Every structure is written in C-alpha cells, then in structure tokens.
Amino acid sequence: MRKGIQWQVSSVELSQKLRELGVKQESYFDWYIGTDEDCSTWLLRSTLKMRSECSDYCSAFTTAELGNMLGKKQGIVISTISSTLDQSDQRWSVCLYKSIEHIEAATKQHKAGIYQIGHLDHIEIEPTEADARAAMVIYLIENGLLDPSTL
C-alpha cells in the first residue's frame, strides 16, 4: 500500500511508461533502484540526490506536475473527480471532454442526478489522483493528442 508522498506521485509502472513514451524526466521526485543491498525494490526519493547513485530511475511526477502536462493540450477540457465508494476504496477519475459544451452538458446532467457518459470522450480511473492524471497523459500521447516533446 502506498503511503505519504507516494499518494502524491505517479506509480512506478505509470512513471516507467511515461519515460518510455519520451516524457522528459524532470520532476521533484524519482523512483529508483538503489545500488546497495536490495537492487530489486523501487524506492522513492527527492531528485536533490544525485541520480548517478542508482542504476535505474524514472521521474515520479507529482499531481501538480501532471496537471501542468494536461494543461498543455489545447482544445480539450480535463476534469478530475474523486469518488469514494467506502473508506477503503477511493478512486480518482480524470475525464476528457473535447469541448466546453460537452463538460457543461455533463455537469447539468450530473446536477440533475443523471449519470450518462454521452458527453464524455474518455475516462481514466485509478486509486490516486496522480495515477489518474498519469494514465490520461499516457492515453493522450498514445493517441496522438499530446506531444511528449512539449511537456
């Protein structure tokens, strides 16, 4: 189970995928495999430490950093929502709308108690806000909607 700052950064798996897709490795935190006794466990640390101390690393992007990446896509609207099914099962979703009209219509329906996905173009659901945002960045890159060189 992820705790503390781990709830505020993208998971190892999503961070590795972002690196593979060419997202610049510039973050306040890294996931890394240390060179000391246990070289098989990914650990989280501030990038203030030298990256040369580890054999492999990838940026662990914060919720804010991922929000900045999502904000670089013109012509779409991103909405982040938290939903709690119960105390032990919180989920975050990041929704993609291709127009402000779509999000306005979805908001009106939601306020009226109507839950349809007709105006929703894509959704990512993850256990943390950072992971939901990271998954949406990955989706946008893989579908040619976001250029990783601009991030």
Per-residue pLDDT of the chain (151 residues; tens, 9 = 90+): 556 777 789 999 999 999 999 999 989 888 887 655 554 566 777 766 555 555 678 899 999 999 999 987 766 667 777 665 555 667 888 888 777 776 677 667 666 555 555 567 888 989 889 999 999 999 999 999 899 999 8
CB atoms within 10 A of CB 95: 22
Which one of 61, 80, 107 terminates a domain?
A: 61
- Whether 83 and 115 map to the same domain: the answer is yes
- Whether 54 and 99 map to the same domain: the answer is no
- pTM for this structure? 0.79
DSSP state letters, the chain: ---GGGGGB--HHHHHHHHHTT-----SEEEEEESSS-TTSEEEEETTS-GGGEEEEEE--BHHHHHHHHTT-TT-EEEEEEEEEETTEEEEEEEEESSHHHHHHHHHHHHTT----TT--EEEEESSHHHHHHHHHHHHHHTTSS-GGG-
Which one of 61, 76, 110 terminates a domain?
A: 61
CATH of the domain at 118: 3.30.160
Q: How many domains are contained in the chain?
A: 2
Which one of 20, 45, 61 terminates a domain?
A: 61
Spell out a b/e string for 56-91, using b for 16 or more CB atoms within 10 Å of the CB, else e: ebbbbbbbebbbebbeebeebbbebeeeeeeeeeeb
- Whether 75 and 135 map to the same domain: the answer is yes
Which domain, by its residues, includes 35?
Answer: 4-61
- Whether 44 and 91 map to the same domain: the answer is no
